[in-house]
Amino acid sequence: MIKPGGLYKFDPAIVGFELDRQFHALKHFTVLNSSAFKGFIEQGYSKEEIESRLRTVGSKFSPEFAESPAEILEVLKKSKFIVINEVETKREVPGRLSIEIDEKAYPNGIGKDALIPLSDIPENQNIYKKPVKGFMLNFISGELRSTNILNIIFNKFSESPVIHTIFPGEYAPPIPVYENQPEMEYRENLSFWEKHALIEEDL
C-alpha cells in the first residue's frame, strides 16, 4: 500500500527490479552499457531482441542519466528528488510513484517525453495512426520534450517493493487491450489514449 507523505519515504536501496521487468523497460532507453548488454545476453536474450527494444518509439532516458534500467536505482540512491504524485490502485498494479529529479544535477533533463495531449497539437500538424498491441495509436512526427519527471510502477508493494516498469515523462496508462483488461480499466485506458499521441522523432 502506498502511504501519503512519501511512499514510506521511498528508499531505492530496498526496491527490487527483476530481470524480465528490466528487459521490458529497455524500450525507454536508446543505448545500453556493455555490462548490462552482456548480462541480458547471458540470461538468454538475443542481440536482436535487445536492439529491437531499444528502437521502440516512446519516452526515453538520457544516457547522461542512466544507460541501463538497473543503473537508475543506483543513480536515485545518490540523487535529490521530490515525490510529486502517489497513486494506489486496486487493479493490476498496486501503486505508482512520480518523482522529480533535481534540475541542478540534470539541467537538460533525465530523458525525453514522447507523450503529448491532442489538445496541445497544432491544427496543421499531421496526426497518423499505427497499430500498437492491436490498438490504433495516435502519432505525430517531431522532437521529444525534455523532462525531469520519473515514473515508477510497482508490481508488488510491501516492505520490499518490486518494480513493474519505469519511464521518464508524464504518466501514461497501458495501451487498451480489451481481452486482457477488466472493463473499467480498459475504458479508462481507452479514454486516455483517444486524447493523447506519441511523438515519433524524425530520423
- pLDDT at position 2 is 34
CA distance 123 to 127: 9
- pTM, to two decimals: 0.82
- Distance CA(113)–CA(168), nearest Å, equals 6
Q: Is 74 helix (H, G, I), strand (E, B) or coil?
A: helix
Within 10 angstroms of residue 138's Cβ, the number of other Cβ atoms is 17
pLDDT in tens, 93-126: 557 888 899 899 999 999 999 999 999 999 999 9
pLDDT digits (tens, 9 = 90+) for 40-92: 999 999 999 999 999 999 999 999 999 999 999 999 888 888 777 766 554 45
**Residue 8 reports pLDDT greater than 50:** no
Confidence of residue 6 (pLDDT cuts 50, 70, 90): very low
Distance CA 104, CA 107 (A): 6
The closest alpha carbon to 146, from 103, 187, 186, 188, belongs to: 103
Could you read off the pLDDT of 22-33 as tens digits, one per residue? 999 999 999 999
Q: What pLDDT digit, counting tens, does each position of 149-196 carry?
A: 999 988 765 567 788 899 999 999 889 999 988 999 899 999 999 999
pLDDT for the residue 169: 95
Cα–Cα distance for residue pair 39/154, rounded to 1 Å: 23
**pLDDT tens, 43-52?**
999 999 999 9
